[in-house]
Amino acid sequence: MHFDLSEDQAAFAAAARSFARQALAPHAAQWDAESIFPREALAQAGELGFCGLYAPQDIGGLALPRLDATMVFEELAAVDPSTTAYLTIHNMATWMLGTWGTETVKAEWGPALTAGQRLASYCLTEPNAGSDAASLQTRAVRDGDDYVITGTKAFISGAGATDLLVLMARTGESGPGGITAFAIPAQAPGIGYGKKEQKMGWNSQPTRIVNLDGVRVPASHRLGQEGEGFRIAMKGLDGGRINIATCSVGAAQGAFDAARAHLHDRRQFGRPLADFQALQFKLADMATELVAARQMVRLAASRLDAGDPEASTYCAMAKRYATDAGFGVVNDALQLHGGYGYIREYPLERLLRDARVHQILEGTNEIMRVIIARRLLDTRRPSDIR
């Protein structure tokens, strides 16, 4: 397997690294401390194509492979995992609209979303439908040329500050086959937002409940066919799991770089910390975990790009491993900083808080184990996972 980056991949990574240093690094701590949603920075990201990395070209996207998108997200997350994670969610919602939207919806929303002039939220989770997403209860009832939607969504990133909701609602029977996807203007009559949740991390993006009370949506705003919504959601989550895994790798790389520099700069007992073998071994283990997580993510992205029938399993593996390993690397980096790692003058505690939620969202890591185990134990078809 060839592991070197292509010229295009290296160029995208370099552009993302430069943007992260200039547009994110000077402000990330303030956005976190003051819970500021950085729309201006996100619009600047859109100017570089980062708001439509894998969206179709007919709506202004770059149509990049998922592997190439990981190069961008990793560089951004090394500086600001919270803002980058929102950007990955926006990319997923934009891709869904560009892939399954009607020509009417794509023309109205697509170019503005890929340019970062408008922003999107993804609405799947409900108060009583988290890991069991197929049990969602938000209902869409056909009424002439419209649908009327009523229900509640929970833990929605960007809610109250974004312009479009890509939302899953039930149009048919119980279970996954009765779910349909919609693109809904975020300020449509009948939509209300709960209080901004006070969170451990991810503070540069607001999280709110979304209440829908008789929201009327034209049938032209349906994404795909009736009953196709759960399949669309799961396709989105394959890429979403790679995205969140990549954010963990990025956070781990940022923490690792800080720890390595600290070991050279900090002196104790008359010697640099880098001279102590116990700390050398810790750094070596961190680097090994980081490289392994990155390769797992890139393998899963490559499988998804190739349309591999086992791609979903690889995405679950990558999400499970990279988010656990990434959090571990950040935690070890904080430990290597000692008391300095615990104060906000240094980025370690922010990286730690932001990375922790990655083990929960896009399917908890326990659910990732369920997905992997079910596939491994499926006797109906031979396993080609190796």
Residue 280's pLDDT is what? 98
CA dist list (Å): 122 to 41, 94, 134, 162, 338: 20, 9, 16, 10, 38
Is residue 381 included in any domain, yes or no?
A: no
67 and 125, same domain (yes or no)? no
Q: Is 34 a catalytic residue?
A: no
HSE-CB for 286 with a 13 A CA cutoff: 26
Residue 181's pLDDT is what? 98
222 and 234, same domain (yes or no)? no
Is residue 384 included in any domain, yes or no?
A: no
Q: Which of 73-87, 125-139, 157-171, 214-228 has the lowest mean pLDDT?
A: 125-139
Other Cβ atoms less than 10 A from the Cβ of 307: the count is 7
Is residue 58 included in any domain, yes or no?
A: yes
User: What single-letter amino acid sits at 282?
Assistant: K
DSSP 339: G
Cβ neighbours of residue 268 closer than 8 Å, sequence gap 6 or more: none
Tally of structural domains, the chain? 3
Residue 133's pLDDT is what? 86
Cβ neighbours of residue 13 closer than 8 Å, sequence gap 6 or more: 5, 71, 72, 74, 75
236 and 213, same domain (yes or no)? no
How large is the average pLDDT for residues 215-235? 96
Helix, strand, coil share of the chain (percent; to 5): 55, 15, 30
Q: Is the pLDDT of residue 60 over 80?
A: yes
Catalytic residue among 75, 108, 289, 362: 362
Mean pLDDT (the chain, rounded): 96
Is residue 1 included in any domain, yes or no?
A: no
67 and 146, same domain (yes or no)? no
283 and 165, same domain (yes or no)? no
332 and 217, same domain (yes or no)? no
Question: Which CATH number fits the domain that encloses residue 76?
Answer: 1.10.540.10
Residue 2's pLDDT is what? 67
90 and 198, same domain (yes or no)? no
pLDDT band at 206 (very low <50, low <70, confident <90, very high): very high
204 and 244, same domain (yes or no)? no
190 and 306, same domain (yes or no)? no
- CA dist 148 and 178 (Å) reads 16
The whole domain housing 17 covers 7-114
Q: Is the pLDDT of residue 1 over 70?
A: no
How large is the average pLDDT for residues 102-121? 98
137 and 16, same domain (yes or no)? no
How large is the average pLDDT for residues 23-37? 98
State the first-to-last Cα distance of the chain, in angstroms, to the nearest integer.
Answer: 14
141 phi/psi in degrees, rounded to 5 = -110, 130
Is residue 382 included in any domain, yes or no?
A: no
How large is the average pLDDT for residues 36-59? 98
246 and 342, same domain (yes or no)? yes
Question: Beta strand pairing status for 207-218 and 222-223?
Answer: unpaired
Is residue 295 included in any domain, yes or no?
A: yes
How large is the average pLDDT for residues 160-174? 96
- What are 285's two structure tokens? 């283990």
Q: Which helix (H) or strand (E) holds 166?
A: strand 164-170
Question: Which CATH number fits the domain that encloses residue 134?
Answer: 2.40.110.10
Domain boundary at 94, 114, 134, which? 114
Is residue 265 included in any domain, yes or no?
A: yes
Question: Which CATH number fits the domain that encloses residue 342?
Answer: 1.20.140.10
pLDDT band at 110 (very low <50, low <70, confident <90, very high): very high
40-50 confidence digits (pLDDT tens) = 999 999 999 99
299 compared with 3, residue with greater pLDDT: 299
Q: Which residue, 236, 248, 235, 232, is CA-closest to 319? A: 248
298 and 341, same domain (yes or no)? yes
Domain boundary at 114, 145, 167, which? 114
Domain boundary at 114, 149, 175, which? 114
- What are 365's two structure tokens? 């890591």
Q: Are 84 and 4 in contact (CB under 8 A)?
A: no
Is residue 310 included in any domain, yes or no?
A: yes
324-375 confidence digits (pLDDT tens) = 999 999 999 999 999 999 999 999 999 999 999 999 999 999 999 999 999 9
